[in-house]
Amino acid sequence: MNVYFISGLGADRRAFEKIQLDAAYTAHYIDWIEPLAKESIQAYANRLSDDIDFKKPFVLCGLSFGGIMAIEIAKQYPCKKVILISSISHRDELPKYYRLLGKLKIHQTPFLRLLKTKNAYVHHLFGVNAKRLKIYLDEMIQKTTLTYLRWSLDNILSWQQKSKPDFVFHIHGDADKLFPIKNCNADKIVNKGGHFMVITHAKLISEIINDVLKSL
């Protein structure tokens, strides 16, 4: 079975470098593309799915914003399962203060330029302490264009998904600062898992993913 991985906002396939699938499954990686002017999240999800082989059964595995995109793809192209890691399954799992920021359109102001320079705050939010991971996050932030960042944040903060889809399996860490566990209805909670637990707790996350795949 094919498993398509979608990384978090602006990140790349290196986010999944420590995830090990059993031999029965083949990992593929969907890379982010630049959004078109005023492109809807549905239209973007359709373009992002161009590399998926729909003739074979497949599973989508999304990290953070990649989880939202995985759900949007699955709503257009039904898959066996969507596995979320450090993500949200519907709009009510987004903290209220984020939704307020969305209404105030903070993400459309010069605030974003400030965010790209305040790396220490981003490290804290992602729960990253190791030097190598800090360097990776810094690189990710710098290479992400403001156009993509504004579009992504706008669609996260205004996402209209009303409930958790039946096809979703949600893995979440109890130490996630970006999407606090208290707001999430997770199927599997990882002890001391932060937002970047896909790397810091890769062995456990791999085991959980493989268990889900075996159940299909």
Instruction: Give whole-number Cα distances, 38 to 21, 41, 50, 101, 102, in Å.
Output: 37, 9, 20, 20, 16
pLDDT computed for residue 80 by the predictor: 97
The residue ranges of every structural domain in the chain are: 2-214
Please give the mean pLDDT across all residues of the chain: 88
DSSP for 42-99, please give it: HHHHHHHGGG--TTS-EEEEEETHHHHHHHHHHHHS--SEEEEES--SSGGGS-HHHH
Q: What is the model's pTM?
A: 0.89
pLDDT at 148 over 70: yes
State the pLDDT confidence band at 84, using cuts at 50, 70 and 90: very high
Q: What is the pLDDT of residues 92-131, one digit of tens each?
A: 999 887 766 656 565 565 566 666 565 665 666 666 666 7
Q: Which two tokens stand for residue 98?
A: 């984020």
Provide the pLDDT confidence category of residue 19 given band limits of 50, 70 and 90: very high
The mean per-residue pLDDT over the stretch 153-166 comes to: 92
Residue 42 neighbours by CB distance under 10 Å = 11
Does residue 137 have a pLDDT over 90? no
Task: Please name which of 196, 195, 117 lies closest in space to residue 149, comparing C-alpha atoms.
Answer: 117
pLDDT tens sequence across 166-214: 999 999 999 998 899 999 999 999 999 999 899 999 999 999 999 999 9
Domain 2-214 -> CATH class: alpha beta
